[in-house]
Amino acid sequence: MTKLRITETVLRDAHQSLLATRMTTQEMLPIIDAMDKVGYHSLEMWGGATFDSCLRFLNEDPWERLRLIRKHAPNTKLQMLLRGQNILGYKHYADDVVREFVKKAIFNGIDIIRIFDALNDVRNLATAVDETKKQGGHAQCALSYTLSPVHNVEHYVGKAKEMENLGADSICIKDMSGILTPFAAYELVTELKKSTKLPIIVHTHYTSGIASMTYLKAIEAGADIVDTAISPLAMGTSQPPTEPLVAALKDTPYDTGLDLKALNEVAEYFKPLRDKYLESGLIDPKVLGVDANTLIYQVPGGMISNLISQLKQSGKAEKFDEVLAEVPRVREDLGYPPLVTPTSQIVGTQAVFNVITEERYKMTPKEVKDLVKGLYGKTTVPIKEEVKQKIIGNDEVITCRPADLIEPQLDILREEIKEYIEQDEDVLSYALFPQIALSFFKERWATKNKIELTMYDEKHKVHPV
């Protein structure tokens, strides 16, 4: 039995979950040197929504964030979250873009890439896994955890074996909704340890209030690594707190070996930042409590806030309970997809439409149609014919890996923005978020050249310098 290892999430998932990924690089840097000395297994600090938020809201280059944190944390592995063939966007990209992104991520300092697919379609992980290993990185494949009549232990063990055969270096149980219960975790980890030879990582959220108990049972079953957040930015829709788990395991066979005094230094740094986020409204106190709806409807915390926002915009806020009840029905109709980006948004938006139009599938967004057409991959179970007819009629459904239909994109993208390229990575930022990246590039250019720009399109404004 070996000691438990800890992945610290405060630099990515914790602030993504609690304050919409608004922590700036400059707010992170003063504590990174101290975090590097703690002895964490890894620092999860990139990927997920950080890339989008850096460009869209913070006027930061996400690649520069990675390089700066790498410089201040030379001794600790840096980890990122990658959405498989979606990379960090919301659609599938060509293989050449996926490979170049992975290559540049590792070149700039990433050690571990956690790769998942919203549908658990392992075909959508293959390119990213292959390139991660080619570049000398650690390819961690994630099982997007959900519950349904077909999502059982045997299902996840089968997926884990596929991932192992693909070349995964480790397997993560990714419980984005906080619905993995303690005894279910014990059973699943036990069977995964029997069935694969790979390290097992458990990731969950505190949304439903059971996460620390879940970790203890998973650890007893043999989990090698768990994800936690330093206490000021833990719990609620974030991860379980780091320090209590470290204290609970001290002087046991699972002792992490981490020093509570070193962790306290990290915690003390983030306390005033947390207070600032609360005062500014970036952290809504509602996300800090326990939400039983998570266990009933399997809806992640971030998805709940999106549903509320959509209903308010439609003037139908009173329909929230109806929409929550509609979510599982839509999910069943669409083949039981796990509720994680982008399928959580797809299912949630359709549930809102079904309720506010008072007719199921009267309105269907493009993304729902694409899901039914197979353009996101293979659903857990086939979509029923009558549902398919309602949504796409007699349109063709593909059965191949979606990216097989996408022509190489990198050279075309590079040509489109050649006048703005200052680093090789710029073409990747543009590939993922074209309008937002272009806005960032123009402002960067204007700032360096001390030239004033006013409105240059309908959505983005460059501030005078």
pLDDT confidence of residue 411: 97
Cα–Cα distance list, 117 to 34, 36, 39, 198 (Å): 34, 30, 30, 19
pLDDT digits (tens, 9 = 90+) for 350-377: 999 999 999 999 999 999 999 999 999 9
Band (pLDDT 50/70/90 cuts) for residue 457 is: very low
Place of tokens 């209590």: 244
Considering only CA atoms, which of 328, 395, 387 is closest in space to residue 360? 387
How far apart (Å, rounded) are the C-alpha atoms in residues 337 and 346?
10
pLDDT digits (tens, 9 = 90+) for 19-35: 989 999 999 999 999 99
pLDDT digits (tens, 9 = 90+) for 131-144: 999 999 999 999 99
For residues 114 and 340, the model is more confident at 114
Per-position DSSP letters for 135-204, written without gaps between them? TT-EEEEEEE---SSS-SHHHHHHHHHHHHHHT-SEEEEE-TTS---HHHHHHHHHHHHHH-SS-EEEE-
DSSP for residue 436: H
Q: Strand, helix or coil at 225?
A: strand
Mean pLDDT for all residues in the chain: 93
How far apart (Å, rounded) are the C-alpha atoms in residues 252 and 226?
16
How far apart (Å, rounded) are the C-alpha atoms in residues 38 and 261?
9
How far apart (Å, rounded) are the C-alpha atoms in residues 345 and 348?
5
pLDDT digits (tens, 9 = 90+) for 273-284: 999 999 998 888
Q: Which helix (H) or strand (E) holds 413?
A: helix 410-416
Domain with CATH 3.20.20.70 in the chain: 5-285
Q: 58-64 — which CB contacts under 8 Å span 24+ positions?
A: 58/22, 58/24, 58/25, 59/440, 59/443, 60/24, 60/25, 61/429, 61/440, 61/444, 62/429, 63/104, 63/108, 63/423, 63/425, 63/429, 64/25
DSSP for residue 255: -
| Two tokens, residue 114 | 């956690």
- Do residues 116 and 142 lie in contact, with contact meaning Cβ atoms separated by under 8 Å? yes
Considering only CA atoms, which of 169, 109, 181 is closest in space to residue 133? 169
Considering only CA atoms, which of 200, 209, 57, 125 is closest in space to residue 377? 125
R_g of the chain computed on alpha carbons: 22
pLDDT digits (tens, 9 = 90+) for 203-213: 999 999 999 99
pLDDT digits (tens, 9 = 90+) for 44-76: 999 999 999 999 999 999 999 999 999 999 999
For the cut 50, the answer to whether the pLDDT of residue 461 exceeds it is no
- Do residues 409 and 89 lie in contact, with contact meaning Cβ atoms separated by under 8 Å? no
Considering only CA atoms, which of 178, 70, 166 is closest in space to residue 115? 166
Q: Strand, helix or coil at 334?
A: coil
Q: Which architecture does CATH list for 5-285?
A: Alpha-Beta Barrel (3.20)
| Two tokens, residue 85 | 């063939």
For the cut 80, the answer to whether the pLDDT of residue 85 exceeds it is yes
**Superfamily (CATH H level) for 299-399:** Conserved carboxylase domain (1.10.472.90)
pLDDT confidence of residue 116: 98
pLDDT digits (tens, 9 = 90+) for 383-422: 989 999 999 999 999 999 999 999 999 999 999 999 999 9
Domain with CATH 1.10.472.90 in the chain: 299-399
Cα–Cα distance list, 73 to 10, 36, 111, 147 (Å): 14, 5, 12, 38
How many other C-beta atoms lie within 10 A of the C-beta of residue 194?
9
**What's phi and psi for 448, nearest 5 deg?**
-65, -35
pLDDT confidence of residue 447: 85
- Do residues 238 and 211 lie in contact, with contact meaning Cβ atoms separated by under 8 Å? no
In this prediction the pTM is 0.93
How many other C-beta atoms lie within 10 A of the C-beta of residue 52?
18
Band (pLDDT 50/70/90 cuts) for residue 452 is: low
pLDDT confidence of residue 107: 98
Q: Strand, helix or coil at 89?
A: coil
